[in-house]
Amino acid sequence: MQSSVDPKMIVYFDGHYVPLAEARVGILTHALHYGTGVFEGIRAHWDEEQQELFVMRPVEHYERWKQNCGILRIDVPLSAEELNEISLELMRRNAFRTNVYVRPLAYKSAERIGVSCDEQDSFALIALPFGDYLPTDRGLHAGVSSWRRIDDNAIPARGKICGAYVNSALASDEAHRCGFDDAIFLNESGHVAEGAACNIFMVRKGKLITPSVTENVLEGITRDAVMELARRELGLEVVERPIDRSELYVCDELFFTGTAVGIAPVTQVDHRLVKDGVIGVITRELQKVYFDATRGHLQAYLNWLKPVYKSGMKDEQGHRVPAEMIAG
Ligand SMILES: Cc1ncc(COP(=O)(O)O)c(C=O)c1O
């Protein structure tokens, strides 16, 4: 769990950089009553050696956010690149020198009663220091939830829509109360979908397998990165296909992926050990290569990263120096 947040921390709210304590919404705000918001989650990792904070695929995250906002007809009137610039500036203003989580949130902001939507939209960007969301250095015990993953024709799971996270909250709360570290959702067809706030992968017979994007899952950017790393760095065959619940009980390795989570090994499901109950070799290798890629240690994946501090450097005339022009 994260510690409390500094109310003096700077956030971007209604077009201004303001202290968190001043970023307030009214009690009648549409999104608060009806869940009509869309959020995003972006990670920046601090690298002590390079004294740099690297943001992981931020422009893709903002593009996904803007697309998802379109599902609810919320307009975010800036480009993905402009949004990225604001969140870089936010991290610089807060002088973060630790791992950070960026939370963009766009929402229906009219203050009135009535579920139908109008054109009144607002958005905020919040960046805060953030450690591990789930433990990644030990195996987790996950429980298959009695709650089913919400269907695309009810509320699209790919949309990161605020109201849809009641589904995740119910599953995760149930899992914790039953003594599990987290939940695994099945979808309405009974196949494995994902975790409460993360995607899921299993290793079976040397192949890396994950549910396809039409199984009512979020189309994870970490999921995508892990598939690429598995293929390119580990030479693994990666398969997207339906996964039966019982395959969770007979697979060789299992892990969750996500922006907040990173790669979190699962070594027990429903009181059954995954293989021999220790973190698998492929999971460990992927954790290592993902760690290196997200901290700017691997040349091949530098294009995934935006450096926070280098991106803010100015030349003698006070103009921003593009990060790619700065040596080192
Ligand atoms: C339901 C759900 N699935 C999967 C993910 C992982 O997606 P990403 O890797 O893009 O963070 C998240 C996290 O954002 C999530 O909330």
What mean pLDDT comes out for the span 208-228? 98
Using only C-alpha atoms, the chain has a radius of gyration, in whole angstroms, of 20
What pLDDT, on a 0 to 100 scale, did the predictor assign at position 142?
98
What pLDDT, on a 0 to 100 scale, did the predictor assign at position 320?
67
Residue 160 among the catalytic residues? yes
Q: Is the CB of 296 under 6 A from ligand 1?
A: no
What mean pLDDT comes out for the span 185-195? 98
Taking CA atoms only, the protein residue closest to ligand 1 atom 15 is 197
- Decide if pLDDT at 213 tops 70: yes
- Cα(304)–Cα(51) distance, rounded to whole angstroms? 18
Q: Is the CB of 259 under 6 A from ligand 1?
A: yes
Taking CA atoms only, the protein residue closest to ligand 1 atom 2 is 197
- Cα(57)–Cα(302) distance, rounded to whole angstroms? 10
Q: Is the CB of 311 under 6 A from ligand 1?
A: no
- Cα(323)–Cα(305) distance, rounded to whole angstroms? 11
- Decide if pLDDT at 315 tops 70: no
* The token pair that represents 90 in the structure block: 């936010």
Atom of ligand 1 nearest to the CA of 199: 4
Catalytic residue among 8, 66, 108, 160: 160
Interval 23-40: pLDDT, tens: 999 999 999 999 999 999
What pLDDT, on a 0 to 100 scale, did the predictor assign at position 136?
81
Confidence of residue 3 (pLDDT cuts 50, 70, 90): low
Distance 8 CA to ligand 1 centre (A): 28
Taking CA atoms only, the protein residue closest to ligand 1 atom 8 is 220
Distance 67 CA to ligand 1 centre (A): 15
Distance 113 CA to ligand 1 centre (A): 31
What mean pLDDT comes out for the span 301-306? 98
Residues 6+ apart with CB under 8 A from 296: 47, 50, 52, 54, 302, 305, 307
Q: Is the CB of 143 under 6 A from ligand 1?
A: no
